[in-house]
Every structure is written in C-alpha cells, then in structure tokens.
Amino acid sequence: MRLLARLAGGIAAIALLLAIAGFVGWRWLERWLDTPGPLPAETVLVVPRGGLEATAGLLEETGIVDRAWAFSLAARLSGRERALKAGEYRFAAGIAPRAVLDLLESGRVVLHRITVPEGLTTAEVHALLEAAEVLDGPLPEPGPEGTLLPETWLVPRGEPRARLLERMRAAMRATLEELWAARAPGLPYADPAEAVILASLVERETPKKEEQPLVAAVFVNRLKRGMRLQSDPTVVYALTGGRNSLERPLTRKDLEIDHPFNTYRIDGLPPAPIANPGRGALEAALKPAAVDYLYFVADGSGGHAFARTLAEHNRNVARWRRIRDGRAAPEDG
C-alpha cells in the first residue's frame, strides 16, 4: 500500500510539474506572439504553398520571425495550421508573430496595378498583358475589338492572364449596359454595338476627356445628316491592319484607299470598333454635347478647333497647316 501511495504521489508530482511547465510555456508563447519581431524594414515576401513547417522556416530565414518552431507551435495550438494562405505579402517592420499569423490567415496579399490605356486594340492589350510579369498563364486568341474595358486593374501576383481578360470583358458589358440605359434620346445607333464603334472613333480622335463629347457630337451630327464621318483613325486602322499606329502622316492617297473601315469612302459607321474605348468615350458617344458642330481639326496645342460651317472649318484647317509648317504659333488667330 505504501508503494502504491508513493507511486501515486510521484505521478501527481510529475503531473503538477508538467502542468506548471505547460502553463509557463503557454504564457511565454503568448508573450512571444505579441513581441515585436526582428524585421528591420518593411519587406515583401512571396509565401509559396508547401505546408506550415516550410512557411515557418521561410519566415525565420527572412527575419520576419526569430523562432520557426514557436511560430509552427502557435499555429497548431490556435487551430490555424490549415488556414494560412500562400501568396505575396507585405510585412511591416517589427511585425509581431501574432500579426504575421493574422496576415497569412486573412489572405490580404499585395495587389499590383495593371494599367490598360484607353484606345488600344485588342492585340495591343494582349501584348501588354503578356509582358506583365506579375501575371501568369497563357492568353486565348484575341477576340473582337471593343469588348475590353480599359482601366487600372488590381491583381495579385500569379493572377491568370485569361482571368484578367475575362474581368475586362465583364466590365465592358456591365459599363455598356449601364450607359446604354441612360443614353440621350434620338441617337443614330441601332444597338449598343454601334455606340461602341462610334466611341472607339472618339477615343482615337482625342485623348482629352473634355473634348470627347464635342467630337462625339460632330460624328452624331454628321450621321444624322447622312454625311461621311471622315475620321483619320479609321484610315490608319485600315492601312495598318488594326495596329492603330502608322508612324507617318496620312496622305491624300491614303484617304482614297478602298477599305470597309475607311470612313472617307464608306457611308455611316465602319463595320466594327477600331479600338477598345474607355468609359469616358462611351459616355460621350451616348451623351454627346448639345452643339451643332460638323467639323473639327487639330489646333496645334493638343486639342481641336470645332466648326459649324465648311467655310469656318477651312479657315481652321489653313491655320493648322500654318502651325504645322512652323509659320504660326498655336495661340495665333
């Protein structure tokens, strides 16, 4: 009986010591989790898939935490072992281990800006996405012009290129649906697709957002009067096969090219968009300015001079030619 009593007493003592050690260990771990870490400066790190031990080792190796084993233990004891997500993260200087756990569980990865300028062709958009090193995966064959919405897109590293392309398509559909529903009355478009065609001409004619409603008004007024649009960018598109960059001035001979996109030769709109217009150009095409302009020409300052009559337009053209040839300043009347 004494032996059994001694044995029971020893087991109790050992259990007490283990409980005390466990309590002390847990209190130490709790303090460690909230102690600022050793990271001297903000650091961006890609945390790959590979399990908890690999993640903890990488965090210690890069100086984000000072004890990989403690980080792994804390993740297991808190039930977050399987909740930590791979990705690219920005870690603040001195970030505490608990905040590291919270960040990896949240999945708040670094987002990169992919800026797609207005007025690019679909082939040019594809080339831009192909060159973006933060994106991943192949692209499908280029689709129709005018189906991608140019914007600045925020993407995580490794975002599939095809997924971003679909986001651009979905955004164009949603934007066009919204703007078409609020369009001005009496526009000469049979459907939203024709509005996109005209918006693409507006986009290529002027980068100035304040001018786009005026340019759209000129085109709308000409369509209503049965006048040809005579838009130079459509000729460039015809000559280059859709690259929208000719690398030389247009000539009179260029304007005579027999092509379905040459609006100097065809009546009405070209058969398809010549680029991917942005929201501003779409808004202009669907809510053009309330003016009776029928003509415009470059004014030498990056903008355009607008005219109601051919005589007025011819004076603007003559002035532009003087500016182009260095015989007048842009502000000269």
The model's pTM is 0.82
Which residue's entry shows tokens 């598109």?
Answer: 237
CA–CA gap between residue 48 and residue 58 (Å, rounded): 9
CA–CA gap between residue 68 and residue 55 (Å, rounded): 9
Number of domains in the chain: 3
> Considering 171, 201, 218, which residue would you say is the last residue of a domain?
171
Q: Residue 291 falls within a domain, yes or no?
A: yes
Residues 101 and 140 in one domain: no
Q: How many residues does the chain have?
A: 333
Q: Residue 252 falls within a domain, yes or no?
A: yes
Residues 95 and 213 in one domain: no
Instruction: For residue 307, list its beta bridge partners.
Output: 295
Question: Residue 166 above 60 pLDDT?
Answer: yes
* 235 — pLDDT class (breaks 50, 70, 90): very high
Q: What are the C-alpha distances in Å from 129 to residues 90, 115, 118, 134?
A: 24, 10, 14, 9
Residues 280 and 252 in one domain: yes
In the chain, % of residues over pLDDT 90: 74
Dihedral angle, C-alpha 168, 174, 180, 183, nearest 10 °:
-90
- Listed in sequence order, the residues at least 6 apart from 37 whose beta carbon sits closer than 8 Å to its beta carbon are 63, 64, 65, 66, 94, 95, 96, 97, 100
* 20 — pLDDT class (breaks 50, 70, 90): low
Contact 44, 52 (CB under 8 A): no
Residues 105 and 118 in one domain: no
67-94 pLDDT, tens per residue? 999 999 999 999 888 899 999 999 999 9
Which residue's entry shows tokens 């300028």?
Answer: 117
Q: Which domain holds residue 96?
A: 34-109
Sequence-ordered alpha helix ranges (H) in 208-309: 212-224, 232-240, 279-286
Residues 207 and 306 in one domain: yes
Q: What is the mean pLDDT of residues 115-127?
A: 94
Sequence-ordered alpha helix ranges (H) in the chain: 2-33, 52-61, 68-77, 97-106, 122-131, 161-181, 192-205, 212-224, 232-240, 279-286, 310-324
